[in-house]
Amino acid sequence: MPLAPPDGIDVVDHIQQTRDSYAQLGYDSYRWAEEPEPSAFVRPTKPLAESKVALIGSGGVYQVGQVAFHHKDDTSYRRIPVDAPRNDLRTSHFAYDMTAARQDPNVVFPLDALRRLDDEGVIGSRTSHALAFMGGIYSQRRLREELLPAITAEIEAMEPDVILLVPV
């Protein structure tokens, strides 16, 4: 069963907005990916305080010295050291207002929060790198065939206990 939004919450439905905006412009509707089944639900086997956490974010974050994302189905990703200086982080995306993320990349890539939770012992540890990609990818096929296997291989190499996904 596809999920319903939580009850009683005044949600801005961006998917419907996008459908309506494009219809108004005279375009056919994009076929959004549908996930009728929930993805794998694994019960954790250890407390959070003993768990290694990996961050994956889709807000298009890169580090100075890395190539920035392009915006036509860029299926690449970046490895960002989890203690990278905040001032070295940048954003490159076309589908959201990056004003806040460019003031503070943590709003779409919360490295500072994770570091604090690590320092406080709320989480056991962090992986050495977080993974960032640019989520504005229209080709679902390329996402599945190119980005997903690459991200999966990175995650398998880092062996986290927990993955935190931060979309935009």
Query: How many angstroms separate the CA atoms of 149 and 64, rounded?
Result: 25
Minimum distance between the CB of residue 33 and other proteins, rounded to whole angstroms?
Answer: 7
Report how far Cα 72 is from the mean position of its chain's Cα atoms: 18
Token pair for residue 15? 């998917």
Query: How many angstroms separate the CA atoms of 38 and 60, rounded?
Result: 25
Binding residue (CB under 8 A) for other proteins from 122, 128, 139, 145: 122
Query: How many angstroms separate the CA atoms of 31 and 20, rounded?
Result: 13
Query: How many angstroms separate the CA atoms of 86 and 120, rounded?
Result: 20
Minimum distance between the CB of residue 110 and other proteins, rounded to whole angstroms?
Answer: 4
Report the residue number, 85 or 99, with the smaller CB distance to other proteins. Answer: 99
Report the residue number, 36 or 157, with the smaller CB distance to other proteins. Answer: 36
For other proteins, the binding residues in 57-116 under the rule CB under 8 A are 59, 64-72, 90-92, 94, 96-104, 106-110, 112-114, 116
For other proteins, the binding residues in 3-42 under the rule CB under 8 A are 3-6, 9-15, 17, 20-21, 24-25, 32-42
